[in-house]
Chains A and B, each alone.
Chain A
């Protein structure tokens, strides 16, 4: 079966711009979570969506937002990009409970210059 698909794979943006990342979960998975991975901070939880509703949120500023569509596909948006937002953004999906049996996508590598 198809895995978690994230697009685009790579992105270069200028400080101050905004960016939208996309995630298509495994078919039948209703929970979609987003993580930020950096060498310094490791893997940090951004937010989780379930049935188009944000169910959980990590400790990130309001510039980070997301949404989920009726087909479970999810997008995350980062506004007013800062250099420190450069990271690998990972999407993970699971059937129901967040974190349980997660399947991760390959991520979107965002570079802010």
Chain B
């Protein structure tokens, strides 16, 4: 019930291409869905987040698409750059109960020049 499933595990994209990472959740009580970016030796950094009352949110080259009925959300990275090479985590939380973030398993993105 608390799980967030993330795919793919790893992704190789050419510079300038679109990177797409998908997540699915079960618990309909989740009401906050952030994406984090983590570089080696660093903690995760908040990239972009969305609430379920919105179907899409865009910040620069990063877009979250949210499908409430399918209980899925995805991260799109447009014009991917080598500097985007990192591990990306989706997550979800709710405003009741535990309220902590439940993370996906992570996607290692490699953008080739």
List residues of A whose CB falls within 8 A of some B CB: 4, 33, 35, 42-43, 45, 48, 55-56, 58, 90, 92, 97-107
A42-B106, A107-B43 in contact; A48/B100 too (CB < 8 A)?
Answer: yes
Contact of B32 among A4, A92, A99, A104 (CB under 8 A): A99
The residue in A55, A58, A104 that gathers the most chain B C-beta atoms within 10 A of its C-beta is A104
CB-CB under 8 A from A99, the residues of chain B are 32, 34, 91, 93, 99-101
B32 touches A100 (CB 8 A): yes
> What's the Cα separation between A103 and B103 when bound, in Å?
15
CB-CB under 8 A from B42, the residues of chain A are 106-107
Contact of A104 among B41, B44, B49, B98 (CB under 8 A): B44
> What's the Cα separation between A55 and B49 when bound, in Å?
23
A104 touches B45 (CB 8 A): yes
Q: How many A-B residue pairs have CB under 8 A?
A: 59
B54 at the interface (CB under 8 A from A): no
List residues of B whose CB falls within 8 A of some A CB: 32, 34, 36, 41-46, 49, 89, 91, 93, 95, 98-106
CB-CB under 8 A from B93, the residues of chain A are 98-100
Contact of A106 among B43, B91, B106 (CB under 8 A): B43
A43-B44, A106-B41 in contact; A97/B95 too (CB < 8 A)?
Answer: yes
B99 touches A56 (CB 8 A): yes
B101 touches A102 (CB 8 A): yes
A42-B106, A56-B98 in contact; A102/B46 too (CB < 8 A)?
Answer: yes
B57 to chain A, nearest CB (A): 14
